[in-house]
C-alpha cells in the first residue's frame, strides 16, 4: 500500500492496476497449487486411474471406479490376465466393461467351488507382477505372507539359510511368482515355494482367482490369423461369429477340418500350460515308448529318477492322472510327452481346466442348465456356455465390501512407502542422525567461535576472521574433488562424518554472529562480570538468548540443508546402508507414479511441519544488508 496512492484508490487507473495484480497473483497461485494437488490426489490412485488427474480421486465417491480398481487388483494389475479371466480383449484396464453382479447363491456356489480347486488351478491376487511387487503397492497378503514366514522361521537369517537366498531384511521377501496360466512357467517346488503354497491354502477365497485356460484358444487364433474372424472361418472351416463366442474344444476335434485339428494340436502342445493337459488311456503305449526312449530302455535308470515308483518293466508305469507338481523330473517328462508330436498322439489329449471343472461341478449339483438358470437368474443356453463367474463375483465383492476396500486403496500407497522408506533399510534413521549431528555441530561450533572472536579481543581477531572467510573467494569446484579424496583417504566415506564435518564451520555465519555479538550492549557483559559470572554462563545465559532469532534461523537452514542434501549425500555415502531419504527418493524408480507421489507427499511432511511452526522464526531471522 505504498506505490499506489491512498488518495487515488478509487480512480479508474488504480482500480485496473489492482485488478491486474489480483489476476496475476491468482493465476500464479493456481500454478503453485495445481502440481501439489495433482501430487496429493494421484498419491491415492493406482495405474487404472492414475492418468485421469481429477483433483479428488473418483473412486472416493463412485462405486463403479472402485469396482474397476478392485478388479484391476484382483487381476494382479495385468491386463493379459484380466483378458484371460474375463474372456475379453481390452488394451488397457480402464477400458473394461463391468458385468452385472453375481447373485448371492451364485457367489456361495462359486466360493465352494474355488475352495476345492487344486493349488495350481488358482493364482493369488498378489503374485507380484513380473517385476517387483512394490511397483503396485504392497497388498495386505504380502505383509501377511512375510509375517507368516517370519513366524515360521523366527529370524531373517534362518529364512535366508532355508531358502538359500540373500535377504537384506524381511521386506526383501516377497511371494514367489505364480504363472500357472503360462506355458513357460515350470516352477521348482523348493522350500520357498512349498511354504508359499501352504500359506496360499490358508488364504481367504477372495484372494484366489481361478486360472482361465480356455481363453488361450481365441487368443491363439487371433495371434496367428489376425483379428478378422472371417479369415479364421475360411482357413479353419469354422462358423465363429465373434471372438467372445469362441469356445475351446476340450478334446481332439474329431469332426473338424484338418486345418482346425492342426491348429488345436499346436495350441495344446505349445501354448496350454502342462498342468491342464491330460492324456487318455489310448496314449498308454506311446507313454511307455516315450519312457523307454528317454531312459535308454533301462528301467533301473527310471527307478533311480523316480524313487517312489515301483515297477518291474516300463509297461507297469501308468499315465499320471494329474501333472506332478513337486517332482521336477516328472514335470519335465510330462512337458516333453505332451509337447511333442512324435510322443503323445494328438487324439489322446484332452484338457482338464478350471472352467470345465466348474461346468461339471455345477451340472452335477443342479442337473440341468434350466435349474441353474432358475437359481441364479442367468440365461445359459447349454452347459458349454457356463464359465466361472469370476469377474461377476469380484463385482459383488467390491460392492459388499466397498468401505473396507476403499480404505485399503486409500492407504495402500502410503503403507508401501512407509514400509520401504521407514522399515526397509535405514534411510529414515540415517536422515534423523544426519540432521541432529548437523544441528549439534553448526549450532555450537559457529557461535562459540564468533563469541571468542567478539569477546576475547585477540590481537589477531581480524586476521582470524579473514582466515575463516577468505575461502569464499575461491570456487567450491576446486575444493570439492580434493575434499572427496581427503574424506576417502581418512576413511570417512560412508560415515556420518563425511556428511557433517566439511560444512561444520561457516565463515559467513561466524562473521554475521560476531557482528551481532559486537552490537550487544557492553553493559550487560560488564554487569555479569561484576556478578562473577563465568564465561560459559555469560555466553549461554546472556549472549545466546539475545541472538536467538538468528540462531533459530540458522538451525532452520541447517535442518533444511541436511534434510534436502542430495548430490553430496549421494557421492559421499554410496553404500545403501548410509543412504538418506532424498537419495532413497531418487532411487525409487521401481515404483509406479502414484507410489512415487505418495513418497513425495510423505517426504514433504517434516518440512511442512517445520515451516508451519517456524513461520515467525523465518521472518525474524531474515538479515538485510544496508550500505554503510
Site for other proteins in 128-167 (CB under 8 A): 128, 132, 163-167
- The CA-based diameter of the chain, rounded to the nearest angstrom, is 116
Report in angstroms how near the CB of residue 599 gets to other proteins at its nearest: 9
Question: Of 188 and 368, which CB lies nearer to other proteins in the complex structure?
Answer: 188
Is 549 near other proteins (CB under 8 A)? Answer: yes
According to CB under 8 A, which one of 169, 191, 247, 293 is a site residue for other proteins? 293
According to CB under 8 A, which one of 56, 479, 524, 537 is a site residue for other proteins? 479
Report in angstroms how near the CB of residue 452 gets to other proteins at its nearest: 4
Dump the DSSP string for 135-193. Answer: GG---HHHHHHHHHHHHHHSSHHHHHHHHT---SSGGG--PPP--TTSTT------HHH
CB 195 within 8 A of CB 201: no
Give the range of 64-72, 146-154, 376-384, 498-506 binding other proteins by CB under 8 A. 498-506
CB 48 within 8 A of CB 42: no
Cell, residue 120: 495350481
Is 468 near other proteins (CB under 8 A)? Answer: yes
Question: Of 407 and 462, which CB lies nearer to other proteins in the complex structure?
Answer: 462
Alpha carbon of residue 381 to chain centroid: 43
**By three-state DSSP, how is residue 87 classified?**
coil
Is 80 near other proteins (CB under 8 A)? Answer: no
Nearest 10 degrees: Cα torsion 546, 548, 550, 551: 130
According to CB under 8 A, which one of 174, 375, 399, 401 is a site residue for other proteins? 174
* Those residues with Cβ within 8 angstroms of residue 347's Cβ, 6 or more apart along the chain or in another chain: 252, 254, 282
Please report, for residues 62, 374, 521, 549, 623, the alpha-carbon distance to residue 626 in angstroms, rounded to integers and kept in the order given. Answer: 59, 90, 21, 19, 10
Is 38 near other proteins (CB under 8 A)? Answer: yes
**By three-state DSSP, how is residue 405 classified?**
helix
CB 77 within 8 A of CB 62: no
Is 520 near other proteins (CB under 8 A)? Answer: no
Give the range of 16-24, 107-115, 195-203, 396-404 binding other proteins by CB under 8 A. 16-24
Is 250 near other proteins (CB under 8 A)? Answer: no
Residue whose C-alpha cell reads 526312449 in the numeric block: 293
Question: Of 126 and 173, which CB lies nearer to other proteins in the complex structure?
Answer: 173
Distance (Å, whole) CA 326 – CA 305: 14
Question: Of 174 and 399, which CB lies nearer to other proteins in the complex structure?
Answer: 174
Question: Of 177 and 378, which CB lies nearer to other proteins in the complex structure?
Answer: 177
Sign of CA dihedral 54, 58, 60, 66: negative
Is 317 near other proteins (CB under 8 A)? Answer: no
Distance (Å, whole) CA 509 – CA 442: 9
- # residues near other proteins by CB under 8 A: 150
Angle at which helix 258-270 crosses helix 229-236, to 10 degrees, equals 110
Cell, residue 56: 479428488
Is 485 near other proteins (CB under 8 A)? Answer: yes
Contact mark string toward other proteins, 585..624, x via CB under 8 A: xxx-x---x--xx--x--xx--xx--xx-----xxxxxxx
Is 527 near other proteins (CB under 8 A)? Answer: no
Is 254 near other proteins (CB under 8 A)? Answer: no
Question: Of 85 and 274, which CB lies nearer to other proteins in the complex structure?
Answer: 274
Is 531 near other proteins (CB under 8 A)? Answer: no
Instruction: Please report, as residue ranges, which positions from 394 to 453 form the binding site for other proteins (by CB under 8 A).
Output: 445-446, 448-449, 451-453
Report in angstroms how near the CB of residue 293 gets to other proteins at its nearest: 7
Report in angstroms how near the CB of residue 437 gets to other proteins at its nearest: 14
Report in angstroms how near the CB of residue 552 gets to other proteins at its nearest: 11
Rounded to 5°, angle at Cα 351 from 293 and 179: 90
Is 474 near other proteins (CB under 8 A)? Answer: yes
Is 288 near other proteins (CB under 8 A)? Answer: no
CB 485 within 8 A of CB 478: no
According to CB under 8 A, which one of 467, 524, 527, 537 is a site residue for other proteins? 467
Distance (Å, whole) CA 74 – CA 81: 10
Is 495 near other proteins (CB under 8 A)? Answer: no
Report in angstroms how near the CB of residue 463 gets to other proteins at its nearest: 8
Alpha carbon of residue 279 to chain centroid: 41
Alpha carbon of residue 494 to chain centroid: 28
According to CB under 8 A, which one of 270, 289, 304, 374 is a site residue for other proteins? 270
Contact mark string toward other proteins, 182..211, x via CB under 8 A: --xxxxx-----------------------
Is 31 near other proteins (CB under 8 A)? Answer: yes
Is 115 near other proteins (CB under 8 A)? Answer: no
How crowded is the C-beta side of 124, counted as CA atoms within 13 Å? 24
According to CB under 8 A, which one of 199, 428, 540, 570 is a site residue for other proteins? 570
Is 480 near other proteins (CB under 8 A)? Answer: yes
Contacts of 565-568 spanning 24+ positions with Cβ under 8 A:
565/434, 565/499, 568/499
Question: Of 93 and 510, which CB lies nearer to other proteins in the complex structure?
Answer: 510
Distance (Å, whole) CA 340 – CA 348: 13
Report in angstroms how near the CB of residue 464 gets to other proteins at its nearest: 7
Is 330 near other proteins (CB under 8 A)? Answer: no
Is 4 near other proteins (CB under 8 A)? Answer: yes
According to CB under 8 A, which one of 176, 210, 249, 253 is a site residue for other proteins? 176
Question: Of 74 and 454, which CB lies nearer to other proteins in the complex structure?
Answer: 454
CB 593 within 8 A of CB 137: no
Q: DSSP class of residue 349?
A: E
Distance (Å, whole) CA 26 – CA 597: 25
Residue 278 phi/psi, 5-degree rounding, is -125, 160
> H/E element holding 209?
strand 208-210
According to CB under 8 A, which one of 11, 15, 22, 298 is a site residue for other proteins? 22
CB 583 within 8 A of CB 570: yes
Is 458 near other proteins (CB under 8 A)? Answer: yes
Question: Of 247 and 518, which CB lies nearer to other proteins in the complex structure?
Answer: 518
Question: Of 37 and 309, which CB lies nearer to other proteins in the complex structure?
Answer: 37
**By three-state DSSP, how is residue 212 classified?**
coil
Amino acid at each position: 500500500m505504498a506505490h499506489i496512492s491512498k488518495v487515488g484508490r478509487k480512480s479508474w487507473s488504480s482500480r485496473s492496476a489492482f485488478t491486474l495484480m489480483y489476476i496475476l497473483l491468482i493465476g500464479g497461485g493456481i500454478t503453485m497449487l495445481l502440481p501439489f494437488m495433482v501430487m496429493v490426489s494421484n498419491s491415492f490412485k493406482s495405474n487404472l486411474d492414475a492418468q485421469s488427474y481429477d483433483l479428488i480421486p473418483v473412486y472416493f465417491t463412485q462405486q463403479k471406479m472402485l469396482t474397476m480398481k478392485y478388479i484391476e487388483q484382483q487381476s494382479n494389475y495385468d491386463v493379459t490376465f484380466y483378458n484371460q479371466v474375463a474372456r475379453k480383449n481390452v488394451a488397457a484396464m480402464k477400458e473394461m466393461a463391468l458385468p452385472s453382479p453375481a447373485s448371492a447363491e451364485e457367489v456361495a456356489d462359486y466360493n465352494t467351488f474355488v475352495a476345492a480347486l487344486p493349488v495350481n488351478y488358482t493364482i493369488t491376487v498378489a503374485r507380484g507382477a513380473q517385476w517387483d511387487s512394490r511397483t503396485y503397492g504392497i497388498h495386505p497378503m504380502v505383509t501377511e505372507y512375510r509375517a507368516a514366514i517370519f513366524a515360521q522361521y523366527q529370524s531373517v537369517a534362518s529364512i535366508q539359510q532355508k531358502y538359500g537366498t540373500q535377504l537384506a531384511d524381511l521386506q526383501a521377501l516377497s511371494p514367489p511368482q505364480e504363472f500357472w496360466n503360462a506355458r513357460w512357467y515350470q516352477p521348482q517346488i523348493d522350500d520357498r515355494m512349498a511354504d508359499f503354497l501352504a500359506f496360499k491354502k490358508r488364504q481367504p477365497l477372495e484372494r484366489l482367482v481361478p486360472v482361465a485356460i480356455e481363453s488361450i484358444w481365441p487368443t491363439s487364433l487371433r495371434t496367428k490369423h489376425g483379428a478378422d474372424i472371417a479369415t479364421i472361418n475360411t482357413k479353419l472351416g469354422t462358423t465363429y461369429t465373434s471372438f467372445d463366442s469362441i469356445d475351446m474344444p476340450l478334446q481332439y476335434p474329431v469332426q473338424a477340418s484338418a486345418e482346425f485339428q492342426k491348429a488345436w494340436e499346436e495350441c495344446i502342445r505349445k501354448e496350454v500350460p502342462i498342468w491342464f493337459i491330460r492324456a487318455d488311456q489310448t496314449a498308454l503305449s506311446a507313454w511307455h515308448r516315450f519312457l523307454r526312449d528317454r531312459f535308454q530302455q533301462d528301467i533301473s535308470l527310471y527307478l533311480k529318477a523316480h524313487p517312489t515308483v515301483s515297477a518291474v518293466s516300463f509297461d507297469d508305469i501308468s499315465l499320471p492322472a494329474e501333472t506332478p507338481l513337486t517332482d521336477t523330473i516328472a514335470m519335465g517328462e510330462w512337458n516333453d510327452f505332451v509337447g511333442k508330436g512324435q510322443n503323445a498322439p494328438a487324439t489322446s489329449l484332452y484338457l482338464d481346466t478350471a472352467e470345465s471343472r466348474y461346468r461339471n461341478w455345477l451340472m452335477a449339483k443342479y442337473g440341468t442348465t434350466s435349474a441353474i438358470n432358475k437359481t441364479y437368474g442367468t440365461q445359459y443356453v447349454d452347459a458349454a456356455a457356463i464359465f466361472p463367474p469370476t469377474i461377476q463375483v469380484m463385482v459383488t465383492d467390491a460392492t459388499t465390501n466397498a468401505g473396507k476396500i476403499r480404505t485399503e486403496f486409500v492407504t495402500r500407497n502410503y503403507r508401501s512407502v512407509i514400509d520401504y522408506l521407514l522399515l526397509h533399510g535405514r534411510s529414515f534413521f540415517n536422515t534423523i542422525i544426519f540432521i541432529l549431528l548437523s544441528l549439534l555441530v553448526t549450532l555450537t561450533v559457529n557461535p562459540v567461535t564468533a563469541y571468542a572472536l567478539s569477546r576475547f579481543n585477540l590481537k589477531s581477531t581480524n586476521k582470524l576472521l579473514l582466515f575463516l572467510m577468505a575461502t569464499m573467494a575461491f570456487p567450491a569446484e576446486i575444493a570439492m574433488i580434493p575434499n572427496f579424496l581427503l574424506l576417502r583417504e581418512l576413511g570417512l566415506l560412508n560415515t556420518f562424518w563425511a556428511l557433517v564435518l566439511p560444512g561444520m564451520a561457516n565463515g559467513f555465519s561466524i562473521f554475521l554472529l560476531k557482528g551481532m555479538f559486537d552490537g550487544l550492549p557492553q553493559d550487560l557483559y560488564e554487569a555479569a562480570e561484576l556478578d562473577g559470572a563465568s564465561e560459559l554462563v555469560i555466553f549461554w545465559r546472556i549472549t545466546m538468548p539475545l541472538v536467538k532469532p538468528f540462531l533459530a534461523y540458522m538451525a532452520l537452514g541447517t535442518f533444511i540443508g541436511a534434510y534436502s542434501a542430495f548430490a553430496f549425500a549421494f557421492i559421499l555415502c554410496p553404500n545403501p546402508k548410509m543412504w538418506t531419504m532424498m537419495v532413497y527418493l531418487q532411487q525409487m524408480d521401481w515404483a509406479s507414479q502414484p507410489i512415487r507421489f505418495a513418497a513425495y507427499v510423505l517426504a514433504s511432511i517434516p518440512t511442512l511441519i517445520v515451516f508451519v511452526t517456524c513461520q515467525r522464526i523465518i521472518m525474524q531471522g531474515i538479515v538485510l544488508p544496508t550500505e554503510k
